[in-house]
Structure 1
Amino acid sequence: MDALADTRFRLTVHYDGSAFHGWQVQPDQRTVQGVLETALSRLADGPKGIMGSGRTDAGVHSTGQVFSVDMAPRWDAPSLRKSLNALLPDDAWIESAAQAPPDFHPRYDAARRTYRYEIGLRPEAASPFHKRWCWPLGEPLDLALLRQAASAIPGERSFGAFAKAGQPERGERCHVYVVAWSETVLGTRLTITADRYLHHMVRYLTGTMVDIARGRRPLDDMARLLDNEPDMVTSPPAPASGLFLHHVEYPEPEAS
């Protein structure tokens, strides 16, 4: 970026992932990054790329994805947010925009990321007005068992057992700070905060905890999986429809 010519902005976007093939641009696929870059390129009168805080898979939603873009100095944050929202489709919306330091990087500067996973336990979770944004399980779960299983997860360790594929350049270690289950109107919600995640990690953790709460596997399986015991296999991953990237946390800027 030419710091004299362009201004870097930090934006937060909400999206319903149901009709997106994930975040990252892919050939011949509708993606969140692709939709945003198309709209921004119209505003900039030329090709415009963005950087995101992380990738979400097909069907995963967001109420807190952060991305950055460099725009000509004639743009200010309120005008950029308003103009971009005017061009975006109904399943994406810019919550906020702010000027950022020239070296701000949404992915590498992030300290913690919080995901939420929504499970519908009531029959009405299967309604078309709910099931796109939850796992419409439609049956009771033992909340005490969910919380017991979750209590084993926080800490810094390898989460290789709970990943579809590792990231060899960064390894399999993650620091999970918070894992909590709470009750909602339709059922229950998982909130998890970590410094980073492996591919499908939250969905594998959720699927395994749900199977424990359903009595399909013993409680101590969670600890054994976290210890990477041989021949231990997770439960199938929970569906993408219930997963939301909720918040990305950045360090407070140092006082000058």
Structure 2
Amino acid sequence: MNTPDRHRIRFIIHYDGRGFAGWQVQPDQRTVQGELERVLGKLTAGPCAVVGAGRTDRGVHATGQVAAADVPVRWTAQSLRRAMNALLPDDVWVADAALAAPYFHPRYDATARSYVYRVGLASEADSPFRSPWCWPLVRPVDLLAMERASAAILGDHSFRAFAKAGQEERGDRCTVAAARWAPWEGIGLEFHVTANRFLHHMVRYLVGTLVDIGLGQRPSDHMAALLAGEEGLETSPPAPPEGLFLTAVSYPADAGMEPPRPRGPRLVP
């Protein structure tokens, strides 16, 4: 909570998701949030809650996760960043830190989130320096068919077919602002997708289905049919988590600025 002796710091976090059971703290599991709270607890000499913009799943990476914590005012953003990086494990890194407005909330103030999914097509994707951070498919795909199917994702749709079961209470509509394929360093392709929100495993189900379309295992018009809720039609299995990166979180220019918001100043998940 913001008090006269504490202020809110906003972080950009990078992490290699392979060694984590996801972002969110879980009993007896190693998580990104848990590591950040452990280190901040040491530096601030007491419990220190960290809230992130998105709860990435087990094995998913990030180069643009946004988080925030309330810390004693003796810590400047940059001195805290340096101290955290000295104590954090090698698979988590604070890329940037800045003073945030008292009412800034990484999750609730976000207007969009962007992900990139890497699919390796060339043999180099099997390299131990590439395969841990991509889906080493190492097979040719029909990019035009995948692009046609990706175009159907744009706009406001129900993504119920592309979400892990058991999330009815969250609602299933998302507005997708970008969904495109781009070259990946001569090794394969990257799927870039931006939306106001994402459902659990949504990007992985989308990529799994798009890749099956690219492999000729289903027609490109299945994407529109799945979004329309066509009965009897199911998505392909989700793509592996290793290829997925949370790359950016967007906020309005005045995010977290006063006047105070009805939800109050506390940082809660």
Aligned to 1:230, what secondary structure does the other structure show? coil
1:215 pairs with 2:227: no
Shift of 1:146: 1.2
- Tell me, in whole angstroms, the C-alpha distance in 2 between the residues paired with 1:223 and 1:47: 48
Aligned to 2:242, what secondary structure does the other structure show? helix
> How many residues are paired up?
256
Shift of 1:219: 1.3
Aligned to 1:209, what secondary structure does the other structure show? helix
Write the deviation string for residues 107-142 of structure 1: whole angstroms up to 9, x where unpaired.
Answer: 000000000000100111111111110000011111
More off after superposition, 241-250 vs 3-12: 3-12
User: Could you tell me which amino acid in structure 2 is paired with residue 84 of structure 1?
Assistant: M
- Tell me, in whole angstroms, the C-alpha distance in 1 between the residues paired with 2:48 and 2:242: 30
- Tell me, in whole angstroms, the C-alpha distance in 2 between the residues paired with 1:59 and 1:209: 21
TM-score (norm 2): 0.93
Write the deviation string for residues 75-108 of structure 1: whole angstroms up to 9, x where unpaired.
Answer: 1111011100000111110010001111111000
Stretches of structure 1 lacking an aligned partner (at least 5 in a row): none
Shift of 1:234: 0.2
User: Could you tell me which amino acid in structure 1 is paired with residue 9 of structure 2?
Assistant: F
Structure 2 residue aligned with 1:149: 149
Structure 1 residue aligned with 2:127: 127
Aligned to 1:46, what secondary structure does the other structure show? coil
Check the 8 A contact 1:17/1:59 in 2, yes or no.
yes
More off after superposition, 52-61 vs 138-147: 138-147
Shift of 1:3: 3.0
Check the 8 A contact 1:204/1:236 in 2, yes or no.
yes
Shift of 1:170: 3.2
More off after superposition, 177-186 vs 165-174: 165-174
Shift of 1:218: 1.0
Check the 8 A contact 1:3/1:102 in 2, yes or no.
no
Stretches of structure 2 lacking an aligned partner (at least 5 in a row): 259-269
Check the 8 A contact 2:9/2:68 in 1, yes or no.
yes
More off after superposition, 169-178 vs 92-101: 169-178
Check the 8 A contact 1:160/1:166 in 2, yes or no.
no
Structure 1 residue aligned with 2:226: 225
Shift of 1:166: 5.2
Structure 1 residue aligned with 2:48: 48
Aligned to 1:237, what secondary structure does the other structure show? coil
Structure 1 residue aligned with 2:7: 7
TM-score (norm 1): 0.97
- Tell me, in whole angstroms, the C-alpha distance in 1 between the residues paired with 2:52 and 2:220: 37
Q: Pairwise CA RMSD of aligned residues?
A: 1.3
Matches within 5 A, 1:1-256: 1-165=1-165, 167-184=167-184, 185-253=186-254
- Tell me, in whole angstroms, the C-alpha distance in 2 between the residues paired with 1:241 and 1:156: 27
Shift of 1:168: 3.5
Check the 8 A contact 1:165/1:198 in 2, yes or no.
no
User: Could you tell me which amino acid in structure 2 is paired with residue 118 of structure 1?
Assistant: R
Query: Identity across aligned pairs (percent)?
Result: 55
